[in-house]
Amino acid sequence: MKEGILEKVVRVDQNDSKLAMAHMYVAFLSLLIGAIAGVLQGLSRAGLITLPAGINYYQLLTAHGVLLALVFTTYFIYGFYYAGLSKTMGSFSSQNHKLAWIGFYIMVIGTAVAAAFIILGQANVLYTFYPPLQANPFFYVALAVYVVGNWIGATAMLRHYFEWKKENKGEISPLFGFMVVATMLLWIISTIGLAITIIFQIIPWAFGAGDGINILLSRTLFWYFGHPLVYFWLMPAYVAWYTIIPKVIGGKLFSDSLARLAFILFLLLSFPLGFHHQLMEPGIESFWKFVQVALTFTTVTPSLLTAFSMFATFELAGREKGSRGLFGWVRKLPWGDVRFLAPMLGMLFFIPAGAGGIVNASHQMNAVVHNTLWVVGHFHISVGTTVVLTFFGVAYWLIPHLTGRTLTAKMNKFGVIQTLLWTVGMILMSAGMHILGLMGAPRRTGYTTYGDHPTALEWFTNFFANHVTVSVGGVILFISTVMMVAGFFHLALFAPRQGTATFPISDGSYNGTNIPAFFENWRIWIILAIVLILAGYLIPVIDMVRNAPPGAPPINWVIQQFSMLYLK
């Protein structure tokens, strides 16, 4: 924490800092609102509070999912990536800068309009918004606008990278930039599927055209996007692990090439896997489910490579500092430094999160856990902890760096407490959710005892896990989130300017710099990814179109409002 004072810090270009900070403001505001919606829906689900008239469980759950899973993550990732690209590959040209700002404003328009419909109760369709649940048509238009804004921002990043490549012919790009390109290509290729279902299926249907929607096709397109989406969240966390953490712990990365290989594997293998979210759906032949499950298991490889890389990095750094024995390196890690502690706890959570993912992907076991709270537990420790704690760890140094402020020892301590609170809250909440899921408690249902059915009552009274302990965990997480948001505003606006916090970026790797040049042959990776997409999806999708089930009529927001009034 003293580096800011001791070293002369080379700051990220001022204009690029402003661009990154604009994204961060939206991210942390959404984090706050999304967390308020989250804690309220959790308490109401447990029967601990009654929601005031005019607000319903699904409205809160939609706000929670959309604001945290889609809005907070995306804006944070864009902000982090703009800053990191500027730091490692030079400041953005004025043209790329303009493009990035245009992308930002379009994203903000999409976000604001979509949020308005959620607040008005006209989009209670949850963050997956699959038909036949139907929102106000303009909610989907807003989503489409949001996607276009994302593409424009991604284009600015890609142009920045390729311009650098042109100016530095024959040179290998910095690891950060390489990883940004892999992520953004994955993001563009996956959001194309989302755009297709929104523009060609959902919007016309929501405006009343045609006779119903092909739900199977729409969900398939959604999950074609939805699985890579989880890697779009994860990859920036890995970027921090590979490029930032080695520097924070005072060592070097184990192997730059291995890190790049992991990212290429994500780009190649992430797409034809969506069926592992649809294993319980009729209408998809089991052969194609088998193909996609098999491919899912191959996508575990880049995460296992990452686990190996991180262990090797920690051990080599520890041994350099004189650690002895098999695990002596553990003691050499800077546990009291929030820039390390938060991502590190994220990594530890990813061990059970990844194991849970493998359970989910196994067809037979999926039958036990699908649509239960187990899945909610899984994604709260993957995206909600591995990714989020890493992002928090990054925020503690990135925000003061971008605003020319200091990360003081006091603020570091605050960060450590906030991180530990998150950890405790999440252990309580996610363990409870996993166990409740195994006990049959469904996800996405408000408070009910199913007419005092004994199984349902058990979900409220079981000693080890019940809805009440889950919401107590949720309240602790909420406190931690409020601390983080307060920390963000402090670091952005009020922290002292006694030297700028460093942007810790690792240079070189223990395994040298012999990086294969063909890694940057993006054309090959894109073509291979498309070949795999066609292999996994072409035949089943043709089948879905040719043998389309009868179109589904909408369960729309007007009907939802009436039925809720009626049920009351």
| Contacting residues toward ligand HAS, per CB under 6 A | 128, 230, 233-234, 276-277, 296, 299-300, 303-304, 306-307, 310-311, 330, 347-348, 350-351, 354, 357-358, 360-361, 366, 370, 375, 378-379, 382-383, 387
Give the catalytic positions in this structure.
227, 231, 378-380, 443-444
347 interacts with, out of Cu ion, ligand HAS, none, CB within 5 to 8 A per kind: ligand HAS
Residues 6+ positions from 116 with CB-CB distance below 8 Å: none
Looking at beta carbons only, is 287 or 311 nearer to ligand HAS?
A: 311
Q: Give me the least distance between CB of 565 and ligand HAS, in Å please.
A: 28
Task: Compute the distance between CA of residue 558 and CA of residue 555 in angstroms, rounded to an integer.
Answer: 8
The residue assigned the tokens 């100016």 is 167
Looking at beta carbons only, is 227 or 434 nearer to Cu ion?
A: 227
- The 3-state secondary structure of 228-291, one letter per residue: HHHHHHHHHHHHHHHHHHHHHCCCCECCHHHHHHHHHHHHHHCCCCHHHHCCCCCCCCHHHHHH
Closest alpha carbon to 264 in 295, 223, 299: 299
How far CA 48 is from CA of 1, 39, 426, 468, 494, in Å, comes to 42, 11, 19, 8, 37
Looking at beta carbons only, is 23 or 370 nearer to ligand HAS?
A: 370
Q: Give me the least distance between CB of 387 and ligand HAS, in Å please.
A: 5
Looking at beta carbons only, is 177 or 356 nearer to Cu ion?
A: 356
189 interacts with, out of ligand HAS, Cu ion, none, CB within 5 to 8 A per kind: none
Scanning residues 155 to 194, which ones bind Cu ion (CB under 5 A)?
A: none
Map residue 1 onto helix, strand or coil.
coil
370 interacts with, out of ligand HAS, Cu ion, none, CB within 5 to 8 A per kind: ligand HAS
378 contributes a contact to Cu ion by CB under 5 A: no
Task: Compute the distance between CA of residue 110 and CA of residue 148 in angstroms, rounded to an integer.
Answer: 9
The residue whose Cβ lies closest to Cu ion is: 227
Q: Give me the least distance between CB of 449 and Cu ion, in Å please.
A: 32
H-run or E-run covering 503: none
- The 3-state secondary structure of 521-548, one letter per residue: CHHHHHHHHHHHHHHHHHHHHHHHHHCC
Q: Give me the least distance between CB of 375 and ligand HAS, in Å please.
A: 4
Q: Give me the least distance between CB of 381 and ligand HAS, in Å please.
A: 9
CB 375 within 8 A of CB 369: yes
Task: Compute the distance between CA of residue 200 and CA of residue 214 in angstroms, rounded to an integer.
Answer: 11
CB 45 within 8 A of CB 122: no
227 contributes a contact to Cu ion by CB under 5 A: yes
Looking at beta carbons only, is 87 or 227 nearer to Cu ion?
A: 227
Three-point CA angle 176, 87, 190, nearest 5°: 40
Q: Give me the least distance between CB of 78 and ligand HAS, in Å please.
A: 17
378 interacts with, out of Cu ion, ligand HAS, none, CB within 5 to 8 A per kind: ligand HAS
The residue whose Cβ lies closest to ligand HAS is: 354
311 interacts with, out of ligand HAS, Cu ion, none, CB within 5 to 8 A per kind: ligand HAS
Looking at beta carbons only, is 332 or 401 nearer to ligand HAS?
A: 332
Catalog residues that contact Cu ion under the rule CB under 5 A. Answer: 227
